[in-house]
Structure 1
Amino acid sequence: MTSINYRKLLPNESRIYRAIRLESLEKFPEAFGATYQEALSIEKFRMESDIEEQTPERFVYGAFAQDELVGICTFVKNESNTGSIYQMYVKREFQGKNIGKGLIEAVIAEACRNFNGIEIHSGGCSGNNKAYNLYRKIGFQEVTRTSSEEIRMKYIP
């Protein structure tokens, strides 16, 4: 298996982020809060600007196989000392190799380094058993489940 390198995306990598983000929306529309068609009409995603500006409270980690970006995971810090993991996506041909687990763990480590004592939540796993089970395996526990089956989870180290 190809070795995978996990790191924060650099300012000049906002375009490759955009490409993989659009791919995630096109291939798995039910897993994300936006549609591919809606996203296409957006000239620049907020996270693209955050990557370019290296905003500490909003960052994207990438999983790289050689020089190819094969997965992303986004972190957004809230006003209180809490933050959420969003947009977790691994290209289909790289799924099932624990890359998603590595991405989430790298994001948690970065968030904990930057924000002492931060409370980390998942962005939601409604109807996505694979994501739910992955978050559970990493140490997240369910905190709420809404009537629309939106599941909020919290990381318990």
Structure 2
Amino acid sequence: MNIEYRNLLPNESKAYRVIRLESLEKFPDSFGANYQEALKTEKFRIETDIENQSLDRFVFGAFVDGELIGICAFVKDENNTGNIYQMYVRKGFQGKNIGSGLIQAILNEAYSRFKGIEIVLEVTPKNDSAYHLYKKIGFQEVIDEKNTESNIVMKYLV
């Protein structure tokens, strides 16, 4: 299986939307968004970012034979911190290191765009497979007193 990891192009924003909605429907406890509410949203902010090819906000996709089978979003905030969001790989492709490849592609792109950036993500406490994936890649759990959510905050240690 030949997998291509790359930044989504403007004309792929609709494909992103389809897979994002799928992620919310199939794994409701793994994301901070709600599937039913997302269905009512005419256009996601990230769709606009994909269409405009925003420097500070981008989405990478994993493709097999031209089909989008995984997504991972990156958003840089004003204090030179980058956040990884919406990591998802379609069910038939899970367990094949595609998620790891997506995270690595995002990390490589973020470090090439922004020197000295700190990269963080959050994972829900019950999402053990994601937690262990992030640990394996090099993320470490951090204590964040400002975090009022019950999510686990993790920082990438280079």
> TM-score range with shorter-chain normalisation?
over 0.9
Gap regions ≥5 residues in structure 1:
none
Please name the residue that 2:41 is paired with: 42
Residue of structure 2 in register with 1:33 after alignment: 32
Check if 1:153 corresponds to 2:149. no
What secondary structure is seen at the aligned counterpart in 2 of 1:152? strand
Q: Does 1:9 align with 2:8?
A: yes
Query: Counterparts of 1:52-91 in structure 2 under 5 Å?
Result: 52-91=51-90
Query: What per-residue deviation string (whole Å, max 9, x for no partner) do you get for residues 123-153 of structure 1?
Result: 3333211110000000000002667531000
Q: Secondary structure at the match of 1:142?
A: strand
1:81 maps to amino acid: N
Supply the distance in 2 between the matched residues of 1:90 and 1:101 (Cα, whole angstroms): 10
In structure 2, what is the Cα distance between the partners aligned to 1:136 and 1:72? 19
Tell me if the contact between 2:29 and 2:124 (Cα under 8 Å) persists in the aligned partners. Answer: no
- CA distance, structure 1, for counterparts of residue 90 and residue 38 of structure 2: 18
- With over 3 angstroms needed to count, the CA separation of the structure-2 counterparts of 1:93 and 1:156, relative to structure 1, is same
The question of whether the paired residues in 1 share the 8 Å contact of 2:3 and 2:64 is answered with yes
CA distance in 1, matches of 2:18, 2:69: 11
Structure 2: gaps spanning 5 or more residues = none
Please identify, of 137-146 and 38-47, the stretch whose mean Cα deviation from structure 2 is larger. Answer: 137-146
TM-score normalised over the length of structure 2: 0.95
Determine helix, strand or coil for the equivalent of 1:105.
Answer: helix
Q: 1:128 to 1:52 in 2, by over 3 A?
A: same
